[in-house]
Structure 1
Amino acid sequence: MPEFICGVDEVGRGPLAGPVVAAAVILDPHNPVDGLNDSKKLSEKHREQLYVEIQEKALAWCVGRAEVEEIDTINILQASLLAMRRAVEGLLLSPDHALVDGNRLPRLSCTAEAIVGGDGLVDCIGAASIVAKVTRDREMIELDAVYPGYGFARHKGYPTKMHLQALRQQGVSEIHRRSFAPVRRLLKE
């Protein structure tokens, strides 16, 4: 049986702006974290609390990312897989096996298994989803101050009505994904 199993998940495939962020987490079976679940099913306050607890109790955790330029160059799916690989490769402990949320696997140096809906089914994947989401959300809040007027702190770069309206009014920023249709259309106008 594998000794170190890491959970892997990513956030930020759908937004029009910002990086895609992945996390890999190896939980400590002797120091469990209660209440883990798909990050989208938790309140922001609960996610923040679990984020701290995961970092304190996990045997290892790491965040990987792919930047906007990479997303635009290799496409969002490949960028997501790249961010996942970077997260796993950055762990201070080398995992024996990876459990990855979704139906696609990044290229890894350990064995891996894709689990659709894994973030709500497997604790280590749920932990990874929480670490990735809190990390990306915090970054988008910081980017809101750098790029005011787009509302990044509120919608985190997702294509909300407010974001699309701001994009039309203010134009495309450095952190917008030029390969995504709503942004690409604006660049052609």
Structure 2
Amino acid sequence: MVTVPDFSFEAEALAAGATFVAGVDEVGRGPIAGPVTAAAVRLDPGNIPEGLRDSKAMSQAARERLSEWLLTHAAVSVAHASVEEIDEINILRASHLAMERAVAGLGQGPDFALIDGNLLPRGLTIPARALVKGDARCQSIAAASIVAKVARDRIMVDLAQQFPGYGWERNAGYPTKAHLQALLDFGVTPVHRRSFKPIHNILYQGIYVTP
């Protein structure tokens, strides 16, 4: 049974005096290639679309449809942390950096953020609350998860055109069996995360790196 998120966490923050509550989520901690992407979304309480769910529980078509709706009808900001940043500061910190950038990118600065996960990004400059499994419980976080997922998937489709053979248009950079085999066949690309074990091991073995 799919859990349906609601607006109760946003309502609680608004009742406590907040005026601009943003839900924040990231996508892309697990892949071995590509950036990590975050989105921050402020929903209009009087105009919330039907069907908001954790993006992982939705079809691609449903995500695409809701993402377009949100970009038109909600305050939305999307941001990224690069492969180089992931390798330099680690994936957790990079995902938090992307979240911080997404919050900062909202045109009118929020005064409260609802963050998916159990840790708050240390660079946030506004009050915030961390919600474990927030994308399944909180509508604003669910909306952010949808926007971030669609945005990152599109990036990976574009990168698949530049680096064919790895299947990123299908696996979004996750370490599927086909992706791992492609690494052995074609080598490591500049957009693979060198700090991640499968890539590090291949580089240590001296397998060809795609220019």
TM bucket, shorter chain: over 0.9
Partner of 1:86: 101
Q: Does structure 1 residue 50 correspond to structure 2 residue 50?
A: no
Question: Aligned equivalents of 2:201 and 2:24: distance in 1?
Answer: 33
Question: Aligned equivalents of 2:67 and 2:108: distance in 1?
Answer: 19
Q: Does structure 1 residue 105 correspond to structure 2 residue 111?
A: no
Return the offset for 1:34.
1.5
Which of residues 126, 134, 138 is equivalent to 2:142?
Answer: 126
Which of residues 9, 14, 20 is equivalent to 2:30?
Answer: 14
Question: Aligned equivalents of 1:32 and 1:44: distance in 2?
Answer: 20
Return the offset for 1:110.
1.1
Return the offset for 1:128.
0.2
Residue 23 of structure 1 contacts residue 131 of structure 1 at CA under 8 Å; is this kept in 2?
yes
Q: Does structure 1 residue 172 correspond to structure 2 residue 211?
A: no
Question: Aligned equivalents of 1:61 and 1:52: distance in 2?
Answer: 11
Question: Aligned equivalents of 1:64 and 1:104: distance in 2?
Answer: 19
Partner of 1:117: 133
What TM-score does the superposition give when structure 1 sets the normalisation length? Answer: 0.98
Partner of 1:156: 172
Q: Any residues of structure 2 matched to 1:66-85 within 5 Å, and which?
A: 66-85=81-100
Return the offset for 1:153.
0.4
What SS does the aligned partner of 1:87 have? helix
Return the offset for 1:30.
2.0
What SS does the aligned partner of 1:47 have? helix
* Post-superposition CA distance 1:162-184 (Å, at most 9, x none): 00000111000010000000000
Q: Does structure 1 residue 33 correspond to structure 2 residue 65?
A: no
Question: Aligned equivalents of 2:119 and 2:169: distance in 1?
Answer: 30
Question: Aligned equivalents of 2:42 and 2:128: distance in 1?
Answer: 14
Aligned residues: 188
Q: Does structure 1 residue 61 correspond to structure 2 residue 76?
A: yes
In terms of Rg, which structure is larger? 2
Task: After the TM superposition, list the runs of 4 or more consecutive aligned residues in structure 1 that deviate by more than 4 angstroms.
Answer: none
Query: Percent identity of the aligned residues?
Result: 57
